[in-house]
């Protein structure tokens, strides 16, 4: 874990603890059910593949998005600007609890979060290709990739980001 902000260790420990808790719940699963590569679900997936991203003030050339529509806002920014879509957990400056959130990453590797009105204090997530996100939305009719019960295949096998690169292109 390479921390960028002072809140990053707290956020990482929260995600790791959630992963451990979810894995302990999975011990009671039907033994006939196929094993998951990520029995800790979204949190374990993030612990194994997530990265921290540098918070930044909203760029002047970016319009604010709709509040509480982070997945849609980030997807549209990434699609229109040819930026990267990231989903994970973040801590806002107004609520000190980690929140499942999405944001875009610009050409300078900076967070572009047009959903929150203030800069978040910590961002930890995984990049997903925009084409993959388009397919997840089309197939599941839900916005997020990670916390999406209809996209559970993401946790069945070990994640290979290169395998998603051509999805939806």
**Does 155 map to a domain?**
no
Residue with tokens 């590797």: 109
Q: What pLDDT shows up at residue 149?
A: 87
**Does 80 map to a domain?**
yes
**Does 57 map to a domain?**
yes
**For 100-149, how does the pLDDT look when each residue is reduced to its tens digit (9 = 90+)?**
999 999 999 999 999 999 999 999 999 999 999 999 999 999 989 999 88
**Does 49 map to a domain?**
yes
DSSP string, 84-148: EEEEEEEE-SS--SEEEEEEEE-TTSBEE--SSSS--SEEEEEEE-HHHHHHHHHHHS-S-SSS-
Structural domains in the chain (count):
1
Q: How far is CA 122 from each of CA 19, 48, 62, rounded to the nearest angstrom?
A: 18, 18, 20
Instruction: Assess contact for 102 and 73: CB atoms under 8 A.
Output: yes
Residue with tokens 């003030």: 57
Q: Which residues of the chain have pLDDT under 50?
A: none
Instruction: Assess contact for 31 and 78: CB atoms under 8 A.
Output: no
**Does 150 map to a domain?**
no
What range does the domain containing 21 cover?
A: 8-128
Q: What pLDDT shows up at residue 166?
A: 74
**Does 167 map to a domain?**
no
Q: What pLDDT shows up at residue 119?
A: 93
**Does 145 map to a domain?**
no
**Does 149 map to a domain?**
no
Q: What pLDDT shows up at residue 95?
A: 85
Provide the 3-class DSSP secondary structure of residue 162.
helix
């Amino acid at each position: 874990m390479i921390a960028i902000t002072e809140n990053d260790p707290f956020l990482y420990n929260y995600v790791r603890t959630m992963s451990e808790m979810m894995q302990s719940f999975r011990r009671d699963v039907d033994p006939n059910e196929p094993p998951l590569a990520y029995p800790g679900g979204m949190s374990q997936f993030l612990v194994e593949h997530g990265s921290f991203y540098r918070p930044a003030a909203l760029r002047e050339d970016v319009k604010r998005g709709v509040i509480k529509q982070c997945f849609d806002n980030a997807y549209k920014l990434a699609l229109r600007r040819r930026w990267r879509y990231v989903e994970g957990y973040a801590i806002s400056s107004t609520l000190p609890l980690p929140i499942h959130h999405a944001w875009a990453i610009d050409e300078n590797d900076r967070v572009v979060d047009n959903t929150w009105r203030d800069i978040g204090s910590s961002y930890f997530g995984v990049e997903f290709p925009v084409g993959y996100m388009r397919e997840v939305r089309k197939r599941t009719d839900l916005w997020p990739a990670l916390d999406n019960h209809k996209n559970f295949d993401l946790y069945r096998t070990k994640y290979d980001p290169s395998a998603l690169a051509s999805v939806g292109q």
